[in-house]
Amino acid sequence: MKKFLTSILVVFVLVLGVAGIVYYKNIKGALPAIRKPAGDIAKIINTTDMPLVLPSGFSISIYAEGLIAPRVLFYLPDGNLAVSVPKEGKVLALLDEDKDGFAEKHLPVIEGLNRPNGLAERCMGDTCKLYIAESDQVAEYDYDRASMRAINKKKLFTLPGGGNHFTRDIEFLPYPDDAKMLVSVGSSCNVCIEKDDRRAKVLEYDFATGKLAEFAKGLRNSVFMAIHPVTGEVWATEMGRDLLGDDTPPDEINIIKKDANYGWPVCYGKNIHDTDFDRNTYIRNPCMDPFETPSYIDLQAHSAPLGLAFFPEEGWPEEYWHDMLVAYHGSWNRTIPTGYKIVRFKLDESGVYQGEEDFITGFMSEGKVYGRPVDILIQPGGTIFISDDKAGVIYKIDRP
């Protein structure tokens, strides 16, 4: 009996030790992501305690507040700003009726959805359709301008729901392929061989044929996509896998090419072989061009890049033309937390990377977290909107 109890104690200590190692390496930095904000950013944004730091010449205010984890920003066919709210199964219209720069009304465009995230619009002549990506499907709607409601739901195709990554983004390709819509579907796991062939990919839906097919693969979780304003190429943020330490693997910015393989789960970053997962031997290097496509830009691991947007030429200084902003949602599994900021990527008109710099910092300040940026909408004329799913607000950034 004594030996049995001793064995149980040894096993318990070993399990506790392994759990402690896993915690220290991978979850120690989770508190900033999961605990409540350190303060109400809507109340302190215009005070001396305001933590957010912007470039000279920019100002920031709250456009909407009191939201429950807002995600994707989008302009409705009537010109009103809208946001998806996956946690509540809604898409909300944000109305600033008195034109004072603050949306005092939040009206439901549609409710009762399964974690809606991606939003898009397609117009043919005077007729515009609204598209909403839920976790398990993408549907088309008519938009009733009088009631400001999405009506006449028509499911276009089914997607695999649930799993570790359940948000879906949608983006229409530019002309002449504007009758094709891309949808990103993240992996079901941290790292694995997927059983569902639609996972860890960007899919393409062709409105002419009604068929859904693979566009690109090997993408663990390309949560957001954007079209480059000059080249028409599809850019996407990509979250690397967990459990390889603080600085491996990098998160990524990718230019998504049709039929390309971006390597997950076998490769990451600049075609680095993930030998922790894949211990097989190959006749060839398992991560190499032209078979696997390396990342375009590597980012700090666990930054959790989400929304990305390009600066237009209209109403912006030439130094910003075609540059890109990316929202770093922030780490939950790094010993020293990282991210929690907006980063500016300097690009030439063809998208060639020329450097990067912080654009907005202070979402995490002196160990306190006030918010986590999600999506970015850059408008002609010097205005930017940013959603924050931790603070529950939409920021409005202006450059007079």
pLDDT of residue 102: 97
Domain parsing of the chain, residue ranges: 36-398
Please give the pLDDT value at position 18.
41
In tens, the pLDDT along 334-390 reads 999 999 999 999 999 999 999 999 999 999 998 899 999 999 999 999 999 999 999
Cβ atoms of 201 and 225 within 8 Å: the answer is no
Cα–Cα distance between 221 and 339 in angstroms, integer?
A: 17
Q: Give the pLDDT of residue 44.
A: 95
CA distance 327 to 358: 10
How much of the chain, in percent, has pLDDT values that exceed 70?
Answer: 92
Residue 150 near residue 141 (C-beta atoms within 8 A) = yes
Q: What is the mean pLDDT of residues 210-220?
A: 98
Count of other CB atoms within 10 angstroms of residue 352: 9
Contact 65, 393 (CB under 8 A): yes
250 CB contacts (<8 Å, ≥6 apart)?
240, 268, 269, 295, 298, 299, 300, 301
> Containing H/E element for 21?
helix 2-22
Q: What CA–CA distance (Å, rounded) separates 293 from 139?
A: 31
pLDDT at 195 over 60: yes
pLDDT, residue 382, reads 95
DSSP string, 244-302: S-SS-SPEEEEEE-TT-B--TTTEETTTEE-TTT-----SS-SS-TTTSPPPSEEE-TT
Q: Tokens standing for 5?
A: 């109890």
What region, left, alpha or beta, does residue 82 occupy, with left being phi > 0 and alpha being psi -120 to 50 degrees? beta
Res. 181 pLDDT band, cuts 50 70 90? very high
Any idea what DSSP says for residue 18?
Answer: H
Could you tell me the CA-to-CA distances from 297 to 4, 103, 285, 305, 311 in Å, in that order?
55, 36, 22, 12, 18
Q: Which residue has the higher pLDDT, 125 or 133?
A: 133
What burial class does residue 240 get, using C-beta atoms within 10 Å of its C-beta: 0-12 exposed, 13-18 middle, 19+ buried?
Answer: buried
User: Is pLDDT of 19 > 90?
Assistant: no
* Model confidence pLDDT, tens digit, residues 304-348: 999 999 999 999 999 999 999 999 999 999 999 999 999 999 999
Confidence of residue 28 (pLDDT cuts 50, 70, 90): low
Mean pLDDT (the chain, rounded): 93
In terms of Cα–Cα distance, which of 32, 72, 19 is closest to 331? 32
What pLDDT score does 124 carry? 86
pLDDT at 13: 46
Side-chain-side CA neighbours of residue 85 (13 Å): 24
Cis peptide before 32 (omega within 30 of 0): no
Please report which confidence band the pLDDT of residue 162 belongs to, taking 50, 70 and 90 as the band edges. Answer: confident
Under 8 Å between Cβ of 299 and 324: no
State the pTM of this model: 0.93
Minimum mean pLDDT among 169-183, 199-213, 276-290: which range?
Answer: 276-290
Q: Which position has the higher pLDDT, 139 or 47?
A: 139
Q: Per-residue pLDDT for 14 more than 90? A: no
For residue 29, pLDDT beyond 90 = no
340 with 328: CB under 8 angstroms? yes
d(CA 51, CA 229): 32
pLDDT at residue 7 is higher than 70: no
The burial class, CB within 10 Å (0-12 / 13-18 / 19+), for 284 is exposed
CATH architecture of 36-398: 6 Propeller (2.120)
- Band of residue 89 on the pLDDT scale cut at 50, 70, 90: very high
| CA 356/CA 353 separation, integer angstroms | 8
Mean pLDDT to the nearest integer, 2-30 = 52
State the pLDDT at residue 6.
Answer: 53
Taking only the tens place, the pLDDT of each residue in 40-72 is 999 999 898 899 999 999 999 999 999 999 999
pLDDT at 279 > cutoff 60: yes
| pLDDT at residue 153 in the model | 98
Place of tokens 């009206």: 107
